[in-house]
Amino acid sequence: MIHAEINQNIQARRLHTGNDDDTYYNESLYGYACTNFTDSYLLFKLAIYGYYMKKYKWTKDQADWFIETQKENSVSWSDGVHTYYYDWARGKNIVTKDYLHVPNLDHIIPKSLGGTDAPENMRIRCRRVNENRGNTNSNKERRATIIDMFNDIDDKEEQRSLLNYLSKQLT
pLDDT digits (tens, 9 = 90+) for 119-143: 999 999 999 888 887 767 677 777 8
What are the extents of the domains in the chain? 3-137
In this predicted model, what pLDDT tens digit does every residue of 38-90 receive, in sequence order?
999 999 999 999 999 999 999 999 999 999 999 999 999 998 889 999 999 99
Beta carbons within 8 Å of 17's beta carbon, 6+ residues apart: none
pLDDT > 80? residue 154: yes
**Percent of the chain scored above 70 by pLDDT?**
98
Q: What is the pTM of this model?
A: 0.86
pLDDT of residue 1: 64
